């Protein structure tokens, strides 16, 4: 990556270099709408219903909590995204502060989470359409053979449009996002003015499941899942025309816009339900007389209050909204594996691009993985809970990178700087850990099994490269020493929690806040202490635009001897 001199004489990172193969063609609306379009997917079609069944009317508070926590995380990435406007930034930032081990670990986690979203969105669309096309899926949502074929065709379409380049992506996505915003606005207004029962907010108690219901809803009901899309403003920063201005707009603006929309939708949904629908408690919502709500909540509710025309529009939107989000995540998944290829902790072929700037090998990989995710897995809600936890885990490294970078590159130009010193980054890190904690033991143990699989895959890849006589970058074990303790402490606190844990050591939610606070302090301080040296970080960043980021070419350019022991830290 090339550097330019600033007025103050410091060295600033230029936008994505010409060796990347990517093209800078996204404008402010294109980047903002990539985030907004990704946020408004299948989540808005199901989350109001799912969260009501878990938290009751207090689901409104769940949305507020979720939006605040993600705003904190987004503010962290706004500073990083403007400093380093590169494709696949969430996967590449840890590399520059903590080296290859941290980079691979967080890159694997980030990629796995993103790769699962496009198939989930397609399955969400099929779940809605089953209301009138019953042969696409079984009653429990599992795809039939015909449904699998249609789902695969949808995923292939996403890949094809992405293969044509980022301009085609932006043109199609901008059009669809205007549709999404219009439809969700119509739904909110129509529900509020047609039938609104204020008694629903108090008849069973405002928070019938207590604080546990409120917090659980954030993680597993699709609330946090619905905000994950803000990341597109970071992942596509390497393909935007003016990242200094457009990245903060996309990252922060997308959360603020959609937070208002989602909170209003939740209020409208609760108020429009018939009082009889919640007479047996909010946890009974979607069972018995209200069973039809479970498959297509908003469309069924529209029909129940006499808005059949709106129900028809919602069934159509159930294809458009998830489809667009799946389309965007196909784009982002390819950029993440592209970034890992450039980091050299995944096969280098993943960084190959076409003349139009599309990472074609990474797109093909995203398609293949999507076909696997379409196989008979658990319900939409359970998959959403898993993807939410694993994605938030990847976001958790952002605050640690931010505070490390302020020591490693203090003179680096920061067009946007998060105020408050360590306060806001720590709160963002603590908030990310809380979302994972609220996901519950059944989700969290699966999460870390997936992480362990990533370590096995990397060991196989590294062994293959060594067998071929190829040099790998140094693993920087010391700088990544916070990774394993972080994961172990999160797993232990989840095991001790009251959220479906077999141990269930404490019942009070307050103890969860204390436990995750202690975990956050330990990991935050450890990461800050073992970070790479300023010289190593500067060298990694300086060669970020080379065909190989930190391999032999970069070390030869820096005048260093070859490394014969890939496991030894460059910062040692």
What is the residue extent of each domain of the chain?
3-374+400-428+532-555
pLDDT of residue 549: 37
d(CA 359, CA 349): 9
d(CA 430, CA 513): 9
pLDDT tens track, the chain, 572 positions = 444 433 333 334 444 444 444 445 556 677 787 788 778 877 888 899 999 999 999 999 999 999 999 999 989 988 887 788 776 677 778 989 999 899 889 888 888 887 877 787 777 777 777 666 777 777 666 777 788 888 888 888 877 776 665 555 566 667 788 888 899 999 999 999 999 999 999 999 999 989 889 999 998 888 988 888 787 777 666 566 667 777 788 888 889 999 999 999 999 999 999 998 888 889 888 887 777 787 789 988 999 999 999 988 988 888 887 777 777 777 777 777 776 776 666 677 776 766 666 677 777 777 887 777 766 555 566 677 788 888 899 889 999 999 999 999 998 888 778 888 899 999 999 999 999 999 889 889 988 998 999 899 888 888 887 888 877 778 899 999 999 999 999 999 999 998 888 888 877 778 889 999 999 999 999 999 999 999 999 888 887 644 333 344 344 334 444 433 333 333 33
d(CA 213, CA 203): 17
State the distance between the two ends of the chain, measured CA to CA, in whole angstroms.
25
Place of tokens 């033991």: 441
Place of tokens 């039809």: 292
Q: What are the helix and strand counts (H, E) for the chain?
A: 21, 2
| Element housing 4 (H / E) | strand 3-5
d(CA 21, CA 262): 37
pLDDT of residue 309: 92
d(CA 439, CA 255): 21
Contact, 375 vs 153, CB < 8 A?
no
∠ at Cα 397 (393, 403), nearest 5°?
150
Q: Which two tokens stand for residue 540?
A: 């990694």
In order of 5, 236, 431, 477, 529, the CA distances from 103 in angstroms are 28, 18, 22, 11, 17
pLDDT of residue 492: 95
Helices (H), 19-144: 28-39, 42-55, 59-83, 89-129
d(CA 79, CA 314): 37
DSSP annotation string for 341-395: HHHTSS-GGGG---TTS--HHHHHHHHHHHHHHTSS-S-HHHHHHHHHHHHHHHH
∠ at Cα 474 (472, 475), nearest 5°?
105
Q: Which two tokens stand for residue 297?
A: 């909540």
Least Cα distance to 38 among 226, 207, 291 occurs for 226
Contact, 367 vs 159, CB < 8 A?
yes
pLDDT of residue 561: 42
CATH architecture entry for 3-374+400-428+532-555: Up-down Bundle (1.20)
d(CA 49, CA 324): 21
Least Cα distance to 166 among 62, 33, 293, 268 occurs for 33
Residues 6+ apart with CB under 8 A from 492: none
pLDDT of residue 10: 36
Q: How many CB atoms lie within 10 A of CB 551?
A: 22
Q: How would you label 451-481 residue by residue, b for 16+ Cβ within 10 Å and e otherwise?
A: beebeeebeeebeebeeeeebbbbbbbbbbb
Q: Is the dihedral of CA 54, 39, 446, 319 positive or negative?
A: positive
In order of 54, 213, 438, 467, 548, the CA distances from 208 in angstroms are 9, 8, 18, 60, 55
Q: Which DSSP state fits 26? A: B
pLDDT of residue 4: 40
Q: Which two tokens stand for residue 571?
A: 């910062």
Place of tokens 């985030």: 35
d(CA 34, CA 473): 33
pLDDT of residue 388: 85
């Amino acid at each position: 990556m090339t550097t330019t001199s600033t007025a103050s004489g410091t060295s600033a990172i230029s936008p994505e270099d010409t060796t990347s193969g990517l093209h800078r063609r996204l404008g402010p609306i294109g980047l903002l709408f990539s985030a907004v379009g990704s946020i408004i997917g299948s989540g808005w079609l199901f989350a109001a219903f799912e969260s009501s069944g878990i938290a009751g009317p207090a689901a409104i508070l769940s949305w507020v909590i979720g939006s605040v926590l993600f705003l904190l995380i987004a503010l962290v990435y706004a500073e990083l995204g403007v400093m380093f406007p590169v494709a696949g930034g969430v996967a590449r930032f840890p590399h520059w502060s903590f080296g290859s081990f941290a980079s691979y670990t967080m890159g694997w986690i980030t990629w796995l989470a993103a790769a699962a979203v496009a198939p989930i969105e397609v399955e969400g669309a099929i779940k809605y359409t089953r209301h009138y096309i019953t042969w696409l899926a079984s009653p429990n949502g599992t795809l039939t053979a015909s449904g699998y074929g249609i789902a695969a065709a949808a995923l292939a379409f996403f890949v094809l449009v992405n293969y044509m380049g980022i301009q085609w992506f932006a043109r199609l996505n901008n059009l669809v996002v205007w549709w999404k915003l219009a439809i969700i606005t119509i739904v909110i207004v129509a529900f509020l003015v047609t039938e609104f029962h204020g008694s629903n907010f108090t008849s069973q108690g405002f928070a019938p499941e207590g604080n546990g219901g409120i917090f659980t809803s954030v993680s597993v009901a699709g609330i946090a899942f619905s905000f994950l899309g803000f990341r597109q403003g970071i992942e596509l920063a390497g393909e935007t025309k003016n990242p200094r201005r457009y990245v903060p707009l996309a990252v922060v603006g997308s959360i603020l816009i959609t937070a208002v929309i989602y909170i209003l939708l939740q209020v409208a949904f609760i108020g429009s339900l018939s009082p009889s629908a919640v007479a047996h408690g909010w946890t009974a919502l979607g069972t018995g007389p209200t069973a039809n709500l479970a498959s297509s909540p908003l469309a069924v509710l529209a029909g129940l209050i006499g808005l059949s025309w709106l129900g028809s529009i919602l069934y159509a939107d159930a294809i458009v909204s998830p489809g667009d989000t799946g389309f965007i995540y196909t784009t982002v998944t390819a950029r993440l594996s592209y970034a890992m290829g450039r980091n050299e902790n995944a096969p280098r072929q993943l960084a190959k691009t076409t003349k139009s700037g599309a990472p074609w090998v990474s797109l093909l990989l995203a398609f293949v993985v999507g076909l696997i995710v379409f196989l008979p897995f658990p319900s939409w809600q359970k998959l959403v809970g898993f993807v939410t936890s694993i994605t938030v885990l990847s976001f958790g490294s952002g605050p640690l990178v931010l505070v490390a970078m302020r020591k490693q590159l203090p003179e680096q130009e920061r067009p946007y700087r998060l105020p408050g010193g360590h306060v806001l980054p720590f709160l963002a890190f603590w908030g990310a850990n809380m979302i994972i904690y609220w996901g519950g033991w059944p989700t969290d143990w699966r999460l870390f099994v997936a992480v362990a699989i990533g370590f096995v895959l990397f060991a196989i890849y590294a062994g293959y490269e060594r067998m071929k006589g190829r040099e790998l970058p140094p693993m920087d074990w010391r700088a990544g020493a916070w990774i394993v303790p972080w994961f172990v402490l999160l797993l232990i606190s989840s095991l001790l929690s009251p959220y479906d844990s077999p141990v269930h050591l404490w019942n009070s939610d307050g103890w969860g806040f204390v436990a995750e606070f202690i975990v956050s302090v330990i990991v935050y301080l450890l990461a800050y202490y073992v970070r790479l040296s300023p010289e190593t970080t500067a060298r990694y960043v300086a060669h970020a635009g080379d065909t190989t980021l930190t391999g032999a070419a970069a070390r030869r350019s820096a005048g260093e001897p070859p490394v014969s022991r890939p496991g030894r830290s460059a910062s040692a």
